[in-house]
Chains A and B, each alone.
Chain A
């Protein structure tokens, strides 16, 4: 059997087992293990299995995930989220879709403190979902918008994906971070437009609330101040160089605890609940990332990604058309694989092709992040959707996946705009010396 046939059969088995309700993480680990054993040898597959579990579980860079989840759960159980959303509701509540718009803005802001899409979706999901549900938002729109907007975290610096891309292609991480800022703002605006259109077409999705008086609005602003303090701590600390992006998670969690205790808003029960939620979501995310890594090792030995890129590179087509194919390939690949695994797997293969086609490496980094954003929300393996499911277990997975499609369209529009106007990504880095 040819390696590509093995890869195709294994993807079919993967999807079949997903549909049989076997946990996604278990399936990826099992199929990845079996495939690698078939392609290479049982012995090496067994030894890689244990090493992958150990490497992922003890990964220093992944420790930012539980820390930002903890920060979010503390913010949630100390009522910061409710107060913040109360403010948002006071200001935007009388607008249709106001809370969804506030969610997008908050996710963009949170993205500036957090470089991991799963952590952002987990934290912001905790913060925003209960509020949108309290105000009777359609569950599909509410979950879809958080799952999608949570992905802004990897576009708006700091970003784990940009860091890993920078390491793979030996490009300046400072420039890559600068390159993410304007496309991040663009995508935030596109998400907002998406919500506006959805609410125009179907007003019942996001019911408008009562209009607040300016006095009520001003009183509610105190709820934002603690959030701004936390923002200032994490962002300021990063800029000044007090701590690294990985440490920022712990700093944020510590800051959230201090604020909650200073305001006497966190009960002992709430503290224990926030810890319990943190371990549950962390366990789920880590097991999925580990499963995706094991599956990724198998897919890379089938050489399917290599053959695919060779085939695309051999076509006599214009660079933009080939880039379109590459992006389409990522869209499909992102359906079945974890974005981070997919990116670490394919960037080394596609990078020479992309450069030879005349594309800029920093620009391609931003495009990779955007395809990664698609990957984390597309079914059946969209990690953000599962993270949101972990936050709101009573909402069916299908409902969340239905909600992400309008936002997926927004990401595709963003990519198209960046292909036509690469300057949006390249303008800010051009001012940077390092």
Chain B
């Protein structure tokens, strides 16, 4: 369990590094486009590529954001309840969270496969969509693992009593 926890944390952290690289890439591409457009000609397909970089950025960042507790929740009520009740609530909301992101992952895989078969490409750069949708699916799957680890911890705590 502990090693699985460490694995998920490390994996999300390294994925977040990819998201960070995407931030730099997005900035360089847009700035490069602005500059080159002024002095020579625009970089073709910037509009499409910037959207794809955005998809990579967000997909690879959501899991590590969850590891850091970055996804906002309302602390108002639960913080005042007993430890045990808090754990049980964590388990219920953990299962619900896992459920919704498992669905998103599954559906993104289907959407990506559909797009691959149809051969759907972006408007100007003609880049296929599907690898990036697989990226979104991967990011959501990783988020599922993070939720699963937290769920496992809560279950272990409850079992311990």
Contacts and interface: CB of A to CB of B under 8 A. Distances in A.
A181 to B, nearest CB: 25
Contact of B96 (A17, A242, A253): A17
A229 to B, nearest CB: 16
B97 A22 contact: yes
A254 B27 CA distance: 7
Contact of B140 (A46, A53, A242, A247): A53
Interface in B76-118: 76-79, 89-90, 92-93, 96-97, 99-101, 103-104, 107-108, 110-111
Interface in A375-434: 380, 386, 389-390, 393, 396-398
A2 interface: no
A42 to B, nearest CB: 10
B96 A30 contact: yes
Contacts of B140: 53
B141 interface: no
A59 B51 contact: yes
A195 interface: no
Given A20-B92, A22-B97, A58 B74 contact: no
A58 B52 contact: yes
Interface stretch (A283-291, A342-350, A364-372): A283-291
B62 to A, nearest CB: 5
Interface residues of A, number: 60
Given A54-B133, A283-B58, A380-B74, A30 B20 contact: no
B50 interface: yes
Contacts of B30: 63, 67, 243, 247, 249-251
A26 interface: yes
B97 A23 contact: yes
B55 interface: yes
A149 B81 CA distance: 34
A214 interface: no
A278 B17 CA distance: 11
A268 interface: no
Contacts of A247: 30, 33-34
A280 B68 contact: yes
A81 interface: no
Nearest to B99: A30
A162 interface: no
A77 interface: no
Contacts of A237: 34
A24 B74 contact: yes
A284 B24 CA distance: 19
A50 interface: yes
A38 to B, nearest CB: 15
Contact of B65 (A26, A54, A284): A284
A311 interface: no
Given A53-B140, A54-B108, A390-B72, A282 B100 contact: no
Contacts of A213: none
B39 to A, nearest CB: 11
Contact of A60 (B50, B75, B90): B50
Contacts of A287: 58, 62, 65, 71
A19 B93 CA distance: 11
A62 interface: yes
B73 A21 contact: yes
Contact of A253 (B27, B73, B78, B89): B27
A66 B110 contact: no
Contact of A276 (B16, B72, B92, B133): B16
A299 B63 CA distance: 28
A156 B50 CA distance: 26
B89 A20 contact: yes
Interface of B: 16, 19-20, 23-24, 26-31, 33-34, 38, 47, 50-55, 57-62, 64-66, 68-79, 89-90, 92-93, 96-97, 99-101, 103-104, 107-108, 110-111, 129, 132-133, 136, 140
Given A251-B31, A288-B72, 17 more contacts: A21-B74, A21-B75, A21-B78, A21-B93, A29-B104, A30-B97, A49-B104, A57-B55, A66-B23, A237-B34, A242-B34, A243-B30, A243-B34, A275-B23, A275-B24, A283-B65, A287-B58
